[in-house]
Amino acid sequence: MSNAQPQWRVDGVAKVTGTAQFGADFPLERLAFGVSILSTVAKGRIRSMDVRDAKRVRGVLEIITPSNALALPNKGVHPELKDAPQIAMLQDELVDYNGKAIGLAVADSLEAAQYAASLVKVEYEVQPHLCDFESQADLAVAPKNGGDAAKYDRGKVAEQFESAEVHLQETYSTPVQHHNPMEPHATIAHWQGDRLTLYEPSQWIVFVRTCISVWFGVSEANIRVLGPYVGGGFGGKGALWSHSPLAVMAAKMLNRPVKIALDRRQMYTVTASRPRTRQKIQIAARKSGDLMAIQNDVVLHASPQIELIEDSGTVSHYLYKTEANSTSHRVAVLDTSPTWVMRAPGEATGSFALESAMDELAYKLNIDPIDLRLRNYAETDVTNGKPYSQKLLRDCYAQAAERFGWSRRTPTPSSMRDENLLLGWGMATATYPAYRAASSAMVRILSDGSVFVGSATHEIGTGTYTVLAQIASAALGIPIDHIQVKTGDTDLPPAIYSGGSLTVATVGSAVHAAAGQVRQTVIEMAINDPASPLYHAAPGQITMAEGELLIADKNARDSYSAILRRNGRKSVEVTTESKPGKDIDPYSTHSFGAAFAEVAVDPEMFTVRVRRFVGVYDVGRLISQKTGINQLAGGAVWGISMALFEEAMMDPRYGRSVNMDLAEYHLPTNADIGEMDISVLDVPDFKFNPLGARGVGEMGITGACAAVANAVFHATGIRVRDLPITIDKLAGRMKA
């Protein structure tokens, strides 16, 4: 599979012309609009809800509250969904955070529903709440469902610290961050008798179907979930939030389709966020730079709805060779909206802390940061002794350093300038596990030579349509413009969650296998067909190109369409499931990379600008060059955003988020991002899967944040360990 001719997105025209239908775009007759009524206190119970004024608004169809909501089996709480957040479905009067959905106004227009929602008067029985992380962090407790992340120990950490020549101990913190996909969450629910169609921009439509089935007591066979285009997710659309079941409920009660589309402000409370973390890292080392032990004790906040562990300490387990290692995770439960997975959960926050600490140790030992990492390079996975299926991190360091010009760096902080600006160069290691899971796909070739590829996976903006078409094209030898890909429909073969960089490695493998079986079926037809130029040919001699099967040295060729027609076949269709087998068990599977950043700091204005970023990654084979590089670059931009911009703020007195829009929740713009130089080694990892491809969606964000933070220290001599690095954290500490 060659990347010599990069493929434009096959869905690009549909997106730029507006014909691609996202979650809120489906026009249905008699469509009603729902707007959530949100709590204004952080904790308590609803004493009463006065809906009289709201019901008088012209066009209002219903005001749904806990007093008249559809009663759900077991009030919507089920053991089989224990890993899903316990979201608001109006089954009780409990308020456990400010901004929770406590009711729904439904009307025949969006404006009427919005106005009606604003008129509902709520009286609360207010209870004391806890929303201040700093006051609760020292009281954090071990998680109830933390599993392996709760506590990890390898070797004798205490003994290593006692005998170490060099000690480093620092605390690093990251704030609450929000997913903020370009497309806000939305749901359209449409009942037709006992059958439900749900239009849902989701990262896991199969799980959506399961949740709705369980919550409403409806057979999965009677539920169809559609989400052909998803405008970004980053983990936030991997679960269901209150608007989805409320749309289903309202549509059932009113016997007409109902749409609930969240506005940007509602995204900050009705959905979820990455939790705040505080990481205390301790490193024991010899003066030579050899690491002896790493300990990372993590405190993070959780919500009453779900105890999710952002396992920031996990990256400390395996990234470097040590004789001992220890991590722990404790949670401080706060009365806030749910916390949930966000791009590279654990690795994004954990790599910031660990890679900042490694940079500090390099300065303390007067060792080049790259040399320190190479000295402690882990040839095998130190957590289990397994070899890696492939690890080319040394090559990533070397190529990235060369492209960046690292050899020209002067190591002393504040020693590099561009006129009046301070320049800083920093680097860090990027890493993310390579996952596979069970997923299915169907490939059908028609007698006109066209191909249909279907799977209940998702196009979340990452290029799924394109990469699956490329995989099928390569396996069949059929031009990509003859291939149609369909995703986002639970009537298609089931697929896993589109997160954790799973899609290409998992669904792509299923498409590869199904297309291969289709090809072999057609080859068998040809070699057993006396009318075929390939009659009695050895299957191993036959190759594919431009919609034909051929034997090049004999100038014998036959098209797929001709073979099917002669055999009286309208199509050949194969559905396969791909899942990891025992052949991968002997190996540890991870992707690695190197991130380098240059910043310019104004010593008078204390502003930081990222002027250059270089990233080189080992992700196995990169099947889709344009979309893959785009994913890695987008992740790196998010890492820069993590370092310098993003921070969700809360007024702990009221438990109320205070920067709930894109004007005050700061994100980088084009002017904030300098030159991006992203590349991959592009060496297939066939031990991981038949494609040799690992996922790329998460990788880019890891390491990028730390590289920027380390560059800021190199420029200023100021180590900021509490993200984001803002003007106030540099002012007063810098020397002009």
> Per residue in 705-728, pLDDT tens?
999 999 999 999 999 999 999 999
Q: Which residue do the tokens 């360990």 mark? A: 721
According to the model, what pLDDT value does residue 1 have?
Answer: 41
According to the model, what pLDDT value does residue 736 have?
Answer: 55
The structure's pTM equals 0.97
Asked if residue 138 belongs to a domain, the reply is no
According to the model, what pLDDT value does residue 4 have?
Answer: 36
Q: Which two tokens stand for residue 436?
A: 């596979």
Q: What is the mean pLDDT of residues 675-698?
A: 97
Q: What is the CATH classification number for the domain harbouring 121? A: 3.90.1170.50
Query: Are 121 and 259 contained in the same domain?
Result: yes
Query: Are 597 and 565 contained in the same domain?
Result: no
pLDDT, tens digit (0-9, with 9 covering 90-100), for 476-514: 999 999 999 999 999 999 999 999 999 999 999 999 999
Asked if residue 604 belongs to a domain, the reply is yes
- Tell me how far the alpha carbon of residue 233 is from its chain's centroid: 7
pLDDT, tens digit (0-9, with 9 covering 90-100), for 371-405: 999 999 999 999 999 999 999 999 999 999 999 99
Banded model confidence at residue 79, pLDDT cuts 50, 70, 90:
low
According to the model, what pLDDT value does residue 304 have?
Answer: 87
pLDDT-above-90 percentage for the chain: 94
pLDDT, tens digit (0-9, with 9 covering 90-100), for 623-679: 999 999 999 999 999 999 999 999 999 999 999 999 999 999 999 999 999 999 999
Query: Are 572 and 648 contained in the same domain?
Result: no
According to the model, what pLDDT value does residue 6 have?
Answer: 80
According to the model, what pLDDT value does residue 489 have?
Answer: 99
pLDDT, tens digit (0-9, with 9 covering 90-100), for 556-615: 999 999 999 999 999 999 999 999 999 999 999 999 999 999 999 999 999 999 999 999
Q: Which of 496, 499, 489 is nearest to 452 (CA)?
A: 489
Query: Are 565 and 628 contained in the same domain?
Result: no
Q: Is the pLDDT of residue 171 over 50?
A: yes
For residue 85, say if its preceding peptide bond is cis, omega within 30 degrees of 0.
no
Q: Please, which residues bridge with residue 229 across strands?
A: none
Q: Which of 222, 192, 184, 187 is nearest to 490 (CA)?
A: 222
pLDDT, tens digit (0-9, with 9 covering 90-100), for 1-58: 434 358 999 999 999 999 999 999 999 999 999 999 999 999 999 999 999 999 999 9
According to the model, what pLDDT value does residue 450 have?
Answer: 98
Asked if residue 386 belongs to a domain, the reply is yes
According to the model, what pLDDT value does residue 86 have?
Answer: 80
CB–CB of 688/408 below 8 Å? no
Q: Which two tokens stand for residue 90?
A: 């109006």
Sign of CA dihedral 439, 626, 695, 599: negative
Query: Are 560 and 594 contained in the same domain?
Result: no
Banded model confidence at residue 370, pLDDT cuts 50, 70, 90:
very high
End-to-end CA distance of the chain: 54
Sheet holding 439-446, edge to edge: 483-486, 451-454, 439-446, 571-578
According to the model, what pLDDT value does residue 5 have?
Answer: 55
Q: What is the mean pLDDT of residues 65-89?
A: 82
Query: Are 517 and 663 contained in the same domain?
Result: no
Query: Are 491 and 589 contained in the same domain?
Result: no
For residue 724, say if its preceding peptide bond is cis, omega within 30 degrees of 0.
yes
- Domain finish residue from 517, 552, 579: 579
3-state per-residue secondary structure call for 439-460: EEEEEEEECCCCEEEECECCCC
Q: Which range of residues forms the domain containing residue 725?
A: 343-349+359-435+585-730
pLDDT, tens digit (0-9, with 9 covering 90-100), for 240-275: 999 999 999 999 999 999 999 999 999 999 999 999
- Tell me how far the alpha carbon of residue 734 is from its chain's centroid: 36
Q: Is the pLDDT of residue 735 over 80?
A: no
- State the CB neighbour count (10 A cutoff) for residue 53: 14
Calculate the alpha carbon distances from 422 to 227, 439, 570, 599 in Å.
48, 51, 68, 8
- Domain finish residue from 268, 288, 321: 268
| Whole-angstrom distance, CA of residue 77 vs CA of residue 74 | 6
Q: Which of 38, 461, 555, 481 is nearest to 236 (CA)?
A: 461
Q: Which of 688, 635, 645, 684 is nearest to 665 (CA)?
A: 645
Query: Are 424 and 407 contained in the same domain?
Result: yes
- Domain finish residue from 560, 579, 598: 579
Phi and psi at 74, nearest 5°, equal 55, 25
According to the model, what pLDDT value does residue 3 have?
Answer: 43
According to the model, what pLDDT value does residue 734 have?
Answer: 77
Query: Are 407 and 498 contained in the same domain?
Result: no
| Whole-angstrom distance, CA of residue 122 vs CA of residue 49 | 5
What torsion do the CA atoms of 318, 321, 322, 324 make, to the nearest 10 degrees?
40
According to the model, what pLDDT value does residue 2 have?
Answer: 39
Query: Are 562 and 485 contained in the same domain?
Result: yes
Q: How many structural domains comprise the chain?
A: 3
Q: If you ran DSSP here, which 8-state letter would residue 268 be given?
A: G
Q: What is the mean pLDDT of residues 306-324?
A: 94
Q: What is the CATH classification number for the domain harbouring 373? A: 3.30.365.10
Residues carrying an active site annotation: 698
4 versus 174: the higher-pLDDT residue is 174
pLDDT-above-70 percentage for the chain: 98
Please report which helix (H) or strand (E) contains residue 514, including its range: helix 503-527
Helical segments of 260-368, H only: 315-318, 347-365
What's the mean per-residue pLDDT of the chain? Answer: 96
SS3 415: coil
| Whole-angstrom distance, CA of residue 193 vs CA of residue 222 | 10
Crossing angle (nearest 10°) for helices 347-365 and 704-716? 30
